[in-house]
């Protein structure tokens, strides 16, 4: 696993956006795996800037998001479809119908999960999968105890995740406790994976993902089995790594 440590979240965000621009320059018809959450907000703002400056285009690309809440109406501002429309899709030039999320409004969510997995298989593999990391080590909504061989399915969120995401909902508002999420095996099928984690609240999860034993207790540790996984961190998120000097030495010598 490649570990890249930046001084702060802004520098890390710029580096990740540059990876995206390079990916699309090398392969304009890339299949992109996208994530939501606070960590990604800066990345999408930066991608919009690059697009407006004529430095990247999504005109031939396709995207698959990791997850979507179950139980929110389609027009709810906290659906991940809404998040993606507002923070990226409506500002750039993806072709019509080329941006996919699991259907969290389906009357048959199990079938919606199977359909999503089939759609990824049809257009995939995903060339570049962007991932955030939960403080509990989740990737997508694969919470601790998720099967490392899992595929897209319904997942019940932990109390910790519901609480962490409560900041996006109004006080006292009903909050979903289930989601459709790509599975860990779905994520591992991507050609390359880019994980972003910022802040001291992610430091323990980062240390587990990079240096801990592979375990369903910390689902992100499954990425140790991926041949092209890169972790982009700020100083605070890197603070529990015991081999930090080595990663920085590699970073300085191998770019």
Query: CB-wise, 30 or 161, nearer to ligand F6R?
Result: 161
Asked if 126 touches ligand F6R (CB under 6 A), the answer is: no
165 is catalytic: no
Q: Whose CB is nearest to ligand F6R?
A: 132
| Smallest distance, ligand F6R to C-beta of residue 201, A | 8
Reply yes or no on whether 136 is catalytic.
Answer: yes
In the bound complex, what is the minimum distance in angstroms from residue 16's beta carbon to ligand F6R?
Answer: 12
**Interface size with ligand F6R, residues (CB under 6 A):** 14
Query: Could you tell me if 78 and 168 are in contact, meaning their C-beta atoms sit under 8 angstroms apart?
Result: yes
Of 46, 67, 103, 127, catalytic: 67
Helix (H) or strand (E) holding 88: none
3-state class of 24 per DSSP?
helix
In this structure, the strands spanning 178-181 and 153-156 are: antiparallel
Q: Considering just the CA atoms, what is the radius of gyration of the chain in Å?
A: 17
C-beta neighbour count of 150 within 10 angstroms: 20
Q: Which stretch binds ligand F6R (CB under 6 A): 11-19, 32-40, 94-102, 109-117?
A: 32-40
Q: How far apart are CA 197 and CA 231, in angstroms?
A: 8
Least CB distance to ligand F6R at residue 238 (A): 16
User: How far is Cα 108 from Cα 128, in angstroms, rounded to an integer?
Assistant: 29
Tell me which stretch binds ligand F6R (CB under 6 A): 52-60, 114-122, 135-143, 184-192.
Answer: 135-143
Place of tokens 């801990």: 212
Residues taking part in catalysis: 67, 136, 138, 143
Residues forming the site for ligand F6R (CB under 6 A): 35-39, 66-67, 132-134, 138-141
């Amino acid at each position: 696993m490649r570990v890249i440590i930046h001084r702060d979240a802004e520098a890390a965000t710029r580096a990740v956006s540059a990876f995206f621009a390079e990916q699309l320059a090398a392969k304009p018809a890339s299949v992109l795996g996208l994530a939501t959450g606070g960590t990604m907000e800066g990345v999408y703002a930066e991608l919009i800037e690059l697009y407006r400056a004529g430095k990247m285009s999504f005109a031939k690309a396709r995207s698959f998001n990791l997850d979507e809440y179950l139980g929110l109406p389609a027009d709810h501002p906290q659906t991940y479809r809404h998040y993606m429309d507002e923070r990226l899709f409506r500002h750039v030039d993806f072709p019509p119908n080329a941006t996919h999320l699991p259907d969290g409004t389906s009357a048959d969510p199990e079938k919606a999960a199977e359909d999503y997995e089939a759609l990824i298989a049809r257009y995939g593999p995903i060339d570049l999968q962007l991932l955030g990391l939960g403080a509990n080590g989740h990737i997508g909504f694969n919470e601790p105890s998720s099967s490392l061989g899992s595929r897209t399915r319904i997942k019940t969120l932990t109390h910790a995740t519901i609480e962490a995401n409560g900041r996006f909902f109004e006080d006292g508002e009903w909050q979903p406790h289930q989601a459709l999420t790509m599975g860990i095996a779905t994520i591992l099928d991507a050609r390359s994976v880019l994980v972003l984690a910022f802040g001291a609240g992610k430091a323990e999860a980062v240390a587990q993902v990079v240096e801990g034993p592979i375990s369903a207790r910390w689902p992100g540790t499954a990425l140790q089995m991926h041949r092209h996984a890169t972790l982009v961190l700020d100083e605070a998120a890197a603070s529990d790594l015991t081999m930090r000097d080595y990663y920085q030495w590699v970073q300085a010598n191998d770019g």
